[in-house]
């Protein structure tokens, strides 16, 4: 798989870099005889994108792209592959569960084909958050099927679980020379009750639980803790009071002076929302839907904001002293849209460079993303 080949290449690069560093120190006489200097800590880039929500029209396009034999979502994601595959760590948000063989559907109860997972892995994603309002669309069986599928294609996951032990296990991911913990929670499951005897099946948003889990992740060796939150009010560009309050409290939480959470990634609202630095920590209130069909807003009107989204790209640099925080030294957003006619996720900037008339889409996304003053804290539009 592309993601695994990329990890192997990164490991090889790390070894070569370490060897070169040792040789340089030996030439300078700075390393004690017979004791090579340890390799320097390496930073990393993290890319994250919004809801993967395969409506019926999305399934029909993937069926067409497969020539009527199964489903192929790889062409759908080909436009963002270059950005995703170049990241050291790439996170997606799997909003729907996977259905039983041949029994697939879009809204209101989603059941996606397993080819979605295969295509996400092929695009270069490493891990998906799975706590969402649709996590229980097919009960415990849907969770098991979804996580089994992600395991099969080599995608890590966080937010739902098949066993209590899995629910208690921290998802740790390598990135540069860091270990990144990924935590995932949802505000609701569309009113569906958790499976009997399985209260741990879906992580629900609870401030104390999130902080406790973040601290557990630190004890498990996490250098960076990333929290994915399925939250907010649908069709609202502006983050709601719950988002603002929870973001403020989570980013204020500290252990021995070090923040417990290093990055918050939001999903669910169907539209892009603002990025903001809160208490020194970046918060993406909502990235929007990366893959979606024609959906109607709360007034029953087709709303084209739903096809607009962003990818967040954050460059983390290692601390000057062991035990200090890994800092985001570059924060970027990349505007995207889902082309309903072509059935493709479009990198808006790349499309404009190639002559597409999408400046209005780019500018609207920019205005929303920067609406809470992120530009003054260094957020820029990425390419």
Provide the domain limits for residue 339: 43-381
pLDDT level of residue 295 (50, 70, 90 thresholds): confident
Q: How far is residue 57 from each of residues 62, 107, 235, measured CA to CA in Å?
A: 9, 10, 20
What is the pLDDT, as a whole number, of residue 38? 60
Tens-digit pLDDT profile for residues 254-294 = 999 999 999 999 999 999 999 999 999 999 999 999 999 87
CATH code where residue 208 lies: 3.60.21.10
214 CB-near residues (< 8 Å, 6+ apart): 181, 183, 225, 227, 253, 260, 261
* Residues 34, 92 within the same domain: no
At 356, list the tokens: 């597409």
What is the pLDDT, as a whole number, of residue 6? 47
117 in Cβ contact with 154 (< 8 Å)? no
What is the pLDDT, as a whole number, of residue 34? 56
Residue 161 has pLDDT above 80, yes or no: yes
* Residues 369, 258 within the same domain: yes
Residue 21 has pLDDT above 60, yes or no: no
Tally of structural domains, the chain: 2
Q: What is the mean pLDDT of residues 224-237?
A: 97
Tens-digit pLDDT profile for residues 200-209 = 999 999 999 9
* Residues 213, 106 within the same domain: yes
Tens-digit pLDDT profile for residues 314-351 = 999 999 998 899 999 999 999 999 999 999 999 999 99
* Residues 7, 155 within the same domain: no
* Residues 8, 62 within the same domain: no
Say which residue, 110 or 340, is predicted with more confidence.
340
At 126, list the tokens: 């490493």
Q: What is the mean pLDDT of residues 5-11?
A: 41
344 in Cβ contact with 323 (< 8 Å)? no
Residue 17 has pLDDT above 70, yes or no: no
Mean per-residue pLDDT of the chain: 90
pLDDT level of residue 297 (50, 70, 90 thresholds): confident
Say which residue, 239 or 9, is predicted with more confidence.
239
Contacts 24+ apart (CB under 8 A), 97-104: 97/134, 97/135, 97/137, 97/138, 97/142, 97/143, 97/145, 97/146, 98/142, 98/145, 98/146, 98/149, 99/138, 99/142, 99/145, 100/138, 100/141, 100/145, 104/59, 104/71
* Residues 21, 124 within the same domain: no
* Residues 97, 7 within the same domain: no
Residue 221 has pLDDT above 50, yes or no: yes
pTM of the entire predicted model: 0.90
What is the pLDDT, as a whole number, of residue 154? 98
Residue 336's closest CA among 315, 314, 356?
356
Stated length of the chain: 383
* Residues 12, 59 within the same domain: no
What is the C-alpha separation between 61 and 342, in angstroms, rounded?
A: 8
């Amino acid at each position: 798989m592309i993601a695994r080949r990329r990890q192997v290449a990164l490991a090889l690069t790390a070894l070569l870099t370490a060897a070169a560093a040792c040789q340089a120190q030996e030439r300078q006489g700075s390393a004690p005889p017979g004791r090579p200097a340890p390799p320097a800590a390496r930073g990393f880039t993290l890319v994250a994108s919004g809801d993967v929500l395969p409506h019926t029209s999305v399934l029909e396009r993937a069926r067409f792209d497969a020539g009527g034999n199964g489903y192929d979502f790889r062409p759908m994601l080909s436009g963002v592959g270059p950005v995703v595959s170049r990241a050291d760590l790439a996170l997606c948000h799997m909003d729907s569960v996977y259905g039983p063989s041949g029994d697939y559907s879009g809204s209101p109860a989603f059941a996606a084909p397993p080819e979605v997972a295969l295509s996400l892995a092929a695009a270069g994603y490493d891990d998906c958050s799975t706590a969402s309002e649709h996590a229980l669309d097919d009960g415990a069986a849907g969770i098991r099927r979804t996580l089994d599928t992600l395991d099969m294609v080599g995608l890590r996951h966080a937010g739902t679980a098949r066993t209590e032990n899995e629910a208690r296990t921290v998802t740790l991911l390598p990135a540069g020379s860091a270990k990144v913990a990924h935590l995932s929670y949802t505000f609701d499951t569309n009113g569906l009750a958790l499976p009997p005897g399985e209260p741990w099946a879906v992580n629900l948003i609870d401030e104390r639980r999130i902080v406790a889990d973040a601290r557990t992740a630190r004890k498990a060796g996490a250098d960076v803790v990333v929290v994915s939150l399925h939250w907010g009010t649908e069709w609202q560009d502006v983050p709601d009071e719950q988002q603002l309050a929870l973001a403020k409290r989570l980013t204020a939480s500290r252990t021995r002076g070090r923040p417990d959470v290093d990055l918050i990634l939001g999903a669910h609202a169907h539209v892009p929302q603002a990025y903001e630095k809160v208490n020194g920590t970046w918060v993406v209130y909502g990235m929007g839907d990366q893959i979606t069909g024609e959906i109607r807003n709360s007034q029953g009107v087709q709303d084209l904001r739903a096809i607009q989204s962003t990818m967040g790209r954050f460059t983390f640099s290692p601390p000057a002293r062991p035990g200090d925080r890994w800092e985001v030294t570059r924060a970027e957003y990349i505007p995207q849209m889902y082309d309903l006619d072509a059935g493709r996720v479009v990198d808006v900037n790349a499309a404009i460079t190639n002559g597409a008339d999408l400046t209005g889409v780019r500018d609207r996304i920019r205005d929303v993303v920067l609406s809470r003053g992120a530009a003054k804290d260094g957020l820029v539009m990425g390419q």
